[in-house]
Amino acid sequence: MPQKVRVLVIDDSAYNRQTIAEILTTHPDIEVVGKASDGEEGLKATAALRPDLITLDLEMPRMDGFTFLRILMSKLPTPVIVISSHSKKQSVFQALELGALDFIAKPTRHISPELTTIRDELVQKVLLFRHLRIDALQDRPKPPERMSMQPEEKEKIPQPIATEMRFVAIGASTGGPPAIQMLLAQVPAEIPTAIVVCQHMPAKFTKAFAERLDKTAKLKIKEAEDGDPILAGHAYITPGGVNLLIARQDGRRVLKLQEMQTEDRYVPSIDKMFSSAAESFHNKCLGIVLTGMGTDGKVGAGRIRERGGYVVAESKESAVIYGMPKEVIEAGHADMVLPLPKIAELLVEYCTGRKNLMGR
């Protein structure tokens, strides 16, 4: 019988603390071992109770969630799931940069019975603790320094991607945002390559994610829009709640957004994005599968290889959740298995044209 996941709930609202605790204790494999009303109480409770995982509100009196995370990750690293409102998107990404594992969007910023609508997602993410690699969580890359490049400078760089230009498709889920931020921050601006990222993330958050990434990168990063031409020196973030495909329009490659289909298990779908990229770019496509739980990316990675492209899977050494990369590797679809820093090196070499990966 599996051991219960021991959870500490931190929220300044007594109603929220009680509701979150009740949600979690409905599952037989979860135990709420404590509650705290602010960061100071949370640090004391963490030291005394040593929970497996913490749920955290960011806006609290005395010590807010950001200060709590800074101290926690330096003194007693513990997995944290942030529970935040849709109106605080940038705060969520700041928390992820400070070491939070994942986040859940509240249906409302106010105290409300609607909080119970996050039940299934919250329970599912707490149970992910069993697949979490704590050492990889502790060793995740720190957020890069903000770039000084002005937006107008970035706009001068990219040109429409030519037929023989290169393409990179990146897929990630839990633990992915900091990894993606680190990878894209390494890539130079003047590259003959376009990049598309499919990160499992709720709708309304991906635009804020793209904007935050754009501030740390040399290349231009934006949330993809339907009909966007694929440009060299650009990276596109797949919007939450829809799938992204690559299509031909007026003789050029463009991005097309597809509404969720009844058969879709994951949305946005890494498999669909990878498969579409494989059909369009053939041996000029590099697929990268990063941290995450589940099987999304396995079918698409196989399609990339079938069409002559190349696939890299993140190794167990650095993946916070080894599920998705492991599925790709065990299916025989990975040409290389590398830790995140080595993937960054390979990405730069490929994007700049200094490395040819198609000699398999």
Contact by Cβ (8 Å): 78, 100: no
Q: Cα separations (Å) of 141 from 72, 95, 115?
A: 17, 14, 32
Q: Nearest Cα to 181, choosing from 97, 271, 108, 296?
A: 97
**Can you tell me the distance from the alpha carbon of 59 to that of 57, in angstroms, rounded to the nearest whole number?**
6
**Can you tell me the distance from the alpha carbon of 237 to that of 216, in angstroms, rounded to the nearest whole number?**
15
Which residues of 126-279 form beta strands (DSSP E)? Answer: 166-172, 193-199, 220-223, 234-237, 242-249, 252-259
Gyration radius of the chain's alpha carbons: 20
Q: Compute CA 267 distance to the chain's CA centroid, rounded to the nearest angstrom.
A: 13
- The backbone region for 99, taken as left when phi is positive above 0, alpha when psi lies in -120 to 50, beta otherwise, is left
**Can you tell me the distance from the alpha carbon of 96 to that of 10, in angstroms, rounded to the nearest whole number?**
17
**Can you tell me the distance from the alpha carbon of 90 to that of 326, in angstroms, rounded to the nearest whole number?**
31
Entry field: residues in the chain: 360
- Residue 172 structure tokens: 């990630």
**Can you tell me the distance from the alpha carbon of 226 to that of 210, in angstroms, rounded to the nearest whole number?**
16
**Can you tell me the distance from the alpha carbon of 255 to that of 266, in angstroms, rounded to the nearest whole number?**
19
Residues that are catalytic: 173, 200, 296
